[in-house]
Structure 1
């Protein structure tokens, strides 16, 4: 069993009577039906339907916790605060850390919703780590799983190109979300010209 802390990820807490409704109308994922302790994967898109920020959404203790790229957290808090308008929602950054595990499932960790063999995630784990973040990235890349903030050009990539539709990141049966029109059209037409795929190589890794 391997456990690593992801220093590249940070946490946002969203609470209040309108929290689920608020996020449900923004993200590609269905937020209104998340059960307590459940984890779901989604993304906030630009109005043109391109990737802005990928998120893991946790439902815990009557609040929603967003596991997001650390480099995007401050801007995301500002953007979400702009979107909330008059809704009864409180948005705040927290000091909680994000952890991942692969191999066996440690206590307090939840299965990563993107891929069964990928592993597990937790917020605020108090035990010892046994692996580095680089080890985790090597593991996920061997599974063919890309992370939008690290592996794709931001504001240029569509979620289907980054395989979000294959990794439980888009609910095509929910109501509207930002960028839905473009995303749904690509899915209906089935004319996807680009996909992120894993590959192997010999020697040094090619430049990003």
Structure 2
């Protein structure tokens, strides 16, 4: 049987103005994300001992942002996890959103530590779309969907259309929509009612929200606090052990953190990439940080980057070389502060 294809419109469709109104929002095909699945009686307890956040205490209505670290506390991945409710007698399931280019290596590493735990980890065939709407468009979107959508960050629903995770957002409302091809096809009318937009535009909104994603270019470079995971509910300091926990806890309780993640932009299109060094022009001999995430558009390049507090205060920041493109600092939607002692 040939595969069923989902065709997103290239622009807002010219529907008649029904009572829902069109367009009802924007939709982004997030092909840079993959959904993996952990299944088995020990699925939750196994991952609980591997990641920075507490999923054992979460319900299906609460997704969790988390990091996966080396023994030295450096991030191999960031992910969003959810534990759907299963029927009586079924094994627990954990679903995880992770960067596509990390999926194989991260699952291979996790499987190395399964040992006697009763859990199977594998990529799923679920698709991920990003949906954004305004408060004014929300009623029409919910009417077409046939259910209410969560409006608080990390709140999650499971419905006939799939899983909807409320994403951090500075303007409007955003969700990760995780669904099978069958679910997507049965809700083609909703897809048609939204304007199709580029993936980089969604990634720029993640950057605006101060949400970091670790991919293969920046693996094993940052501890969770350096990318602000502790400031956005991505680290639990009470959940117990996981790889790198001692390093992460020491940075938190001793207040030894010298770098944080900042947000900025460069005017115009650029060739900058994640992992590129950042410089303070007062100290050109060595970099003061690295680019973590980047989103390109014709007019501006948006960045999340690691940087020292000193260089941040000086605010003459260059990308690539000490004489490279100047980065203008932008505000994050949460307060930046050194890790508390």
The alignment's TM-score, normalised by the length of structure 1, stands at 0.89
Match of 1:26 in 2: 50
The alignment's TM-score, normalised by the length of structure 2, stands at 0.56
Q: Cα deviation per residue 1:141-171 (whole Å; 9 max; x = unaligned)?
A: 2233332227x72211111000101111101
- The answer to whether 1:65 aligns with 2:120 is no
Match of 2:218 in 1: 153
Greater radius of gyration (CA): 2
Equivalences, count: 205
Q: Do the aligned partners of 1:148 and 1:162 also contact (CA within 8 Å) in 2?
A: no
CA deviation after TM superposition for structure 1 residue 11, in Å: 1.2
Q: Mapping of 1:1-208 within 5 angstroms? A: 1-62=25-86, 63-104=93-134, 107=149, 108-112=163-167, 115=168, 117=170, 119-124=174-179, 126=184, 127=188, 128=191, 130-149=196-215, 153-205=218-270, 207-208=272-273
CA deviation after TM superposition for structure 1 residue 56, in Å: 0.8
Q: In angstroms, what is the RMSD of aligned CA positions?
A: 2.1
SS of match in other structure, 1:55? strand
Partners of 2:252 and 2:174 in 1: CA distance: 27
Which deviates more from structure 2 when the two are superposed, residues 120-129 or residues 19-28? 120-129
**Which structure exhibits the higher relative contact order, with contacts defined as CA atoms closer than 8 Å and separated by 6 or more residues?**
1
Partners of 2:126 and 2:232 in 1: CA distance: 25
SS of match in other structure, 1:145? coil
Partners of 1:164 and 1:48 in 2: CA distance: 16
SS of match in other structure, 1:68? strand
- Give the strand-richer structure, 1 or 2: 2
CA deviation after TM superposition for structure 1 residue 36, in Å: 1.9
Which deviates more from structure 2 when the two are superposed, residues 52-61 or residues 194-203? 194-203
Partners of 2:114 and 2:64 in 1: CA distance: 21
Q: Do the aligned partners of 1:172 and 1:184 also contact (CA within 8 Å) in 2?
A: yes
Partners of 2:215 and 2:233 in 1: CA distance: 18
CA deviation after TM superposition for structure 1 residue 116, in Å: 5.2
CA deviation after TM superposition for structure 1 residue 101, in Å: 2.2
Gaps of 5+ in 2: 1-24, 87-92, 142-148, 150-162, 274-341
Partners of 2:81 and 2:125 in 1: CA distance: 16
SS of match in other structure, 1:182? helix
Match of 2:146 in 1: none
SS of match in other structure, 1:154? coil
